[in-house]
Structure 1
Amino acid sequence: MKKIALLLFPILLASCGQGNQTATAVLEPMNVMSFNIRYDNPEDSLNNWQYRKDRAANAIRFYDADIVGTQEVLHNQLQDLQQRLPEYGVIGVGREDGKEKGEYSALWYKKERFEVLDSGTFWLSETPEVPGSKGWDGACERVASWAKLKDKISGKECLALNTHLDHVGVVARREGISLILDKVKELGNGMPVVVTGDFNSTPESDVINHITNPEGPEHLTDARTVSPVVYGPAWSFHDFGSIPYEHRPLIDYVFVGNGVKVLKYGVLAETENEAFLSDHAPVLVTVE
């Protein structure tokens, strides 16, 4: 019996070693994208959505995005992306009625990788739970859609939130981001967090400083500022190439918090035969 036990002991050790290697291997990085796809505007001529929808979907798939925060998504565009990206689930509602009317800040996730534990949408207004409510001096209704996701590979949980701040209202942007930071703290309860969006604010603005100020107890980190690898230009909005290169602003972001480590950051300012993905360049960040 002792001989059998001695023979089995190295096998058990080897099995335990393999198990540890497997546990380490499953902690795979995660690709997070922020992508303002530009609403389906008939006046966009050859830049209209009908000519871009296949490219937009292919870019998401090619860059193997695990989580994608999209902005300016009308319901027909949501359906187009669902048809082209069946491997993704989506969370969000139309901002005008909480159903299908108006733009979505739609949050996409790989169904094979994530289990949705909880999700929802709130309005950036004084009454965030009221569908269609417009906040402060905002020109439009604005929303944030979020999900608590469990990574099926690692078992880890994280909070993902996606938004689009107002393009006119100064107070709406300031108060909107304060509300978002409060909600991230409330919903995330200390779990790792990624926040994507079009913030209509440049890096030196009060809005972005409010988000990233390390003295703020709810602050988040701009992934670009801590990434060891930064690829692409320092801008994200180009208006289908009409803005002179030196005047193009960076207004699209991925923010991280609560222990999320940034590995790579890129702005995907690519074209296909001079045709654009959108009037914004997507931002892609690899984290763990």
Structure 2
Amino acid sequence: MRSAPELPVRVLTHNIRYATSSPVKGELRWAQRKQRLLNELEYHTRHVGDTFICLQEVLHSQLEDIHAGLNPGAVSSVLDWAFIGVGRDDGYQAGEYSPIFYRPSVWDLQGWETVWLSETPSKPSKGWDAACIRIVTIGVFTHRGSGNTVLAMNAHLDHRGSRSRLEAARIIRAKIHEYRQGKFGRLIAGTLLAGDLNSQEDQEAYSDLTGSGDLQDTYRLVDTSRRYGNHNTFTGFGYEKEPPSRIDYVLLASEGSQTWRVDGYSVMANRFDDGIFDSDHCAVIADLRLVG
């Protein structure tokens, strides 16, 4: 692996809540929430070009809204933001996406895939005791300025099936090892996994991913005095029976001689003084540096 200049990276992950036709108590429809979320994405990426935006629970109509909102007035040949990802139900446009948005002017996409977190990971499928089909979106990106290559992953694990979450974590770790041994292995300088794991720190998926030594939690890699915002990342819309919890993460793996440093970690508010929730999850933002 060749050495490369230091690379700052911002990772923003947010479960935006799918555009349901039957809102729960305390929830507004997507048409009333979407501009708030677009403003959030624009604000946190406006002057940070090296950002990955990792979203979960995104239906195709929401994907179109977000893509258009991030590229106001742009023509298709000159887009500021692009994305990778597919709908989980058919591998095309049906069901929820877990897309990764990136700026093509900053990142050169080397390759990408969607992996189903099931016994048949190469095709749309539901695994083990999962209530829903679950996926991880994987991309290999080379930074045009520094030459560093990053393996970026965005996952949404099941909210009910404990076995499926554990097996999903194992699939994700296996994919990391596969990429390390594959054609991009000599290029990859750092790996990141963002997303909604539906797993608290003492539960199966988090324990497997971090306890294996493959990945580290950005929350744990930054001094407590430098964390900002909330602790919990899931809030609900104010009327759910389950309590708030930390289930959304940015996890990291260093590769070879290069190492991730965490400059900042934050859990942003999802409700302001008007009392409206933009989602039942908060955005998690990690500011990183890849150093040689």
| Shorter-normalised TM range | 0.7 to 0.9
Q: Which residue does 2:42 correspond to in 1?
A: 61
Cα displacement string for residues 174-218 of structure 1 (whole angstroms, at most 9, x for unaligned residues): 0011000110121243530110110001112132111111xx25x
Residue 111 of structure 1 deviates from its aligned partner by: 2.1
Q: 2:127 aligns with which of 111, 130, 135?
A: 135
Distance in 2, matches of 1:48 and 1:109, equals 26
Stretch deviating more after TM superposition (178-187 or 37-46): 37-46
Residue 97 of structure 1 deviates from its aligned partner by: 0.4
Residue 72 of structure 1 deviates from its aligned partner by: 0.4
Distance in 1, matches of 2:237 and 2:81, equals 27
Distance in 1, matches of 2:244 and 2:267, equals 13
Residue 42 of structure 1 deviates from its aligned partner by: 2.0
Q: 1:82 aligns with which of 64, 67, 75?
A: 67
Distance in 1, matches of 2:261 and 2:55, equals 22
Q: Which residue does 1:171 correspond to in 2?
A: 163
Superposition RMSD on alpha carbons, in Å? 1.9
Corresponding residue SS for 1:145: strand
Q: Kindly provide the amino acid, as one letter, of the partner of residue 67 in structure 1.
A: F
Q: Which residue does 2:17 correspond to in 1?
A: 38
Q: 1:73 aligns with which of 42, 45, 58?
A: 58
Higher RCO structure, 1 or 2 (CA under 8 Å, sep 6+):
2
Distance in 1, matches of 2:280 and 2:16, equals 7
Indicate yes or no: 2:102 matched with 1:102: no
Corresponding residue SS for 2:96: coil
Distance in 1, matches of 2:281 and 2:162, equals 21
Distance in 2, matches of 1:144 and 1:206, equals 17
Stretch deviating more after TM superposition (167-176 or 56-65): 56-65
Residue 248 of structure 1 deviates from its aligned partner by: 0.8
Q: Kindly provide the amino acid, as one letter, of the partner of residue 51 in structure 1.
A: Q
Distance in 1, matches of 2:116 and 2:163, equals 15
Q: Which residue does 1:18 correspond to in 2?
A: none
Residue 243 of structure 1 deviates from its aligned partner by: 5.0
**Structure 2 matches for 1:86-235, cutoff 5 A?**
86=71, 87-130=80-123, 132-188=124-180, 189=185, 191-213=189-211, 216=212, 219-228=214-223, 229-235=226-232
Q: Pick the structure with greater CA Rg.
A: 1
Q: Kindly provide the amino acid, as one letter, of the partner of residue 237 in structure 2.
A: F
Structure 1 gaps of 5+ residues are 1-23
Percent identity, aligned pairs only, is 34
Q: In the alignment, is the contact (CA less than 8 A) between 1:238 and 1:280 conserved in 2?
A: yes
Distance in 2, matches of 1:142 and 1:167, equals 10
Cα displacement string for residues 209-229 of structure 1 (whole angstroms, at most 9, x for unaligned residues): 11111xx25x20010011132
Distance in 1, matches of 2:114 and 2:7, equals 28
> Taking structure 2 as the reference length, what is the TM-score of the superposition?
0.84
Q: In the alignment, is the contact (CA less than 8 A) between 2:165 and 2:204 conserved in 1?
A: no
Count residues with an aligned counterpart: 259
Q: Kindly provide the amino acid, as one letter, of the partner of residue 136 in structure 1.
A: W
Corresponding residue SS for 1:30: strand
User: Once superposed, which parts of structure 1, at least 4 consecutive aligned residues long, lie more than 6 Å away?
Assistant: none
Distance in 2, matches of 1:240 and 1:109, equals 29
Q: Which residue does 1:279 correspond to in 2?
A: 280
Distance in 1, matches of 2:156 and 2:11, equals 16
Corresponding residue SS for 2:155: strand
Cα displacement string for residues 229-284 of structure 1 (whole angstroms, at most 9, x for unaligned residues): 2111210111123359x931111000011122111000002424222221100100
Higher helix share: 1
Residue 128 of structure 1 deviates from its aligned partner by: 0.5
Residue 34 of structure 1 deviates from its aligned partner by: 0.9
Distance in 1, matches of 2:280 and 2:175, equals 29
Structure 2 gaps of 5+ residues are 72-79
